[in-house]
C-alpha cells in the first residue's frame, strides 16, 4: 500500500506510526469526506455533542468502555456500545493506539457504518496507556474514531489529521485548561480551521 506524503511541519515519526498502525487494510472509495488531495478537517467527523470533558475511569479498559458508552448514547447510527468496545479492544491487542505526547487515538472500522465518527475525551489526571513505542505513560487526550469498513483512505486521512493537530503542545495545554466540553470543542475547531 502506498502511503500518502507526510504534511510539512509534522512529526514524521508520529504520522508514520499512525499510518503504519492501520497499514494493510484494503483500500476502497471513501464513503464521506473531502475529495482526494484536500486536507480533511476534524470538525467533519467530531461534533460538539461528542466531546466528554472529563473521564471518570482511571484505567485503560474502563476508559475505553466509558468512551464507547458515551458515544453510543449520543449517536444512534453507531453499533451498540459492546460492539464498539470489542472493536477497540481487538485493535489495542494488535498494537497500542497511544501515539505519544499524552495522546491516544483508539480506532476501528465497521461494515454498514455510513460515515466517519469520532469522540474526544479528556482525563486531566491521566490514564496509564502504552504508547506505540511500548513505553507506558499517562495519557490525557483520547480521540476515538470509527470508520466505515470500505473507507481505508478516509480512515488514514482522519488519523493523520488528528496526529498532526495533537502534536502541538499549545493545543494539548489549552484543552487541559478548558472549563467544559464546549470549550474543548471550540479550541479543537479553532485550531482545525488554522491549518
Query: What's the pLDDT at 153?
Result: 87
Q: Which of 36, 102, 107, 155 is catalytic?
A: 107
Measured CA to CA, the distance from residue 17 to residue 1 in angstroms comes to 15
Query: What's the pLDDT at 130?
Result: 75
Residue 189 in any domain: the answer is: yes
Per the CB < 8 A criterion, the answer to whether 103 and 143 are in contact is yes
Q: Can you give the residue range of the structural domain that contains 189?
A: 12-194
The tens digit of pLDDT for each residue in 154-166 reads 889 999 999 999 9
Active site residue 36: no
Average pLDDT of the residues in 134-153 = 88
Residue 4 in any domain: the answer is: no
The tens digit of pLDDT for each residue in 16-37 reads 444 444 333 333 333 344 444 4
Percent of the chain with pLDDT over 70: 78
Measured CA to CA, the distance from residue 127 to residue 63 in angstroms comes to 8
Res 135 pLDDT > 90 = no
The tens digit of pLDDT for each residue in 47-58 reads 999 999 999 999
Residue 3 in any domain: the answer is: no
9 or 51: which carries more pLDDT confidence? 51
The Cα diameter of the chain in Å comes to: 42
Residue 140 in any domain: the answer is: yes
Residue 1 in any domain: the answer is: no
Measured CA to CA, the distance from residue 9 to residue 157 in angstroms comes to 16
CATH number, residue 36: 3.40.930.10
The tens digit of pLDDT for each residue in 88-98 reads 999 999 988 98
Whole-model pTM?
A: 0.79
Where does the pLDDT of residue 118 fall: very low under 50, low under 70, confident under 90, or very high at 90 and above?
Answer: very high
Closest-CA residue to 63 (of 147, 108, 122): 122
Provide the domain count of the chain: 1
Residue 2 in any domain: the answer is: no
Closest-CA residue to 185 (of 91, 122, 139): 122
Q: Count of residues for the chain?
A: 195
Residue 87 in any domain: the answer is: yes
**In the predicted model, what is the mean pLDDT of the chain?**
82
Residue 109 in any domain: the answer is: yes
Amino acid at each position: 500500500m502506498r502511503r500518502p506524503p507526510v504534511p510539512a511541519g509534522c512529526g514524521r515519526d508520529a504520522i508514520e506510526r499512525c499510518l503504519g498502525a492501520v497499514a494493510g487494510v484494503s483500500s476502497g472509495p471513501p464513503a464521506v469526506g473531502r475529495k482526494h488531495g484536500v486536507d480533511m478537517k476534524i470538525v467533519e467527523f467530531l461534533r460538539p455533542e461528542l466531546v466528554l470533558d472529563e473521564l471518570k475511569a482511571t484505567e485503560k479498559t474502563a476508559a475505553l468502555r466509558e468512551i464507547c458508552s458515551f458515544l453510543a448514547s449520543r449517536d444512534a447510527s453507531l453499533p451498540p456500545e459492546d460492539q464498539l468496545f470489542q472493536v477497540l479492544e481487538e485493535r489495542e491487542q494488535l498494537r497500542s493506539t497511544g501515539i505519544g505526547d499524552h495522546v491516544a487515538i483508539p480506532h476501528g472500522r465497521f461494515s454498514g457504518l455510513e460515515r466517519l465518527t469520532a469522540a474526544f475525551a479528556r482525563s486531566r489526571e491521566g490514564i496509564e496507556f502504552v504508547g506505540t513505542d511500548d513505553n507506558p505513560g499517562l495519557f490525557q487526550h483520547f480521540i476515538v474514531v470509527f470508520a466505515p469498513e470500505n473507507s481505508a483512505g478516509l480512515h488514514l486521512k482522519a488519523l493523520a489529521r488528528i496526529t498532526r493537530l495533537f502534536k502541538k503542545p499549545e493545543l494539548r495545554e489549552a484543552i487541559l485548561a478548558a472549563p467544559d466540553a464546549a470549550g474543548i470543542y471550540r479550541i479543537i475547531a479553532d485550531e482545525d480551521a488554522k491549518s
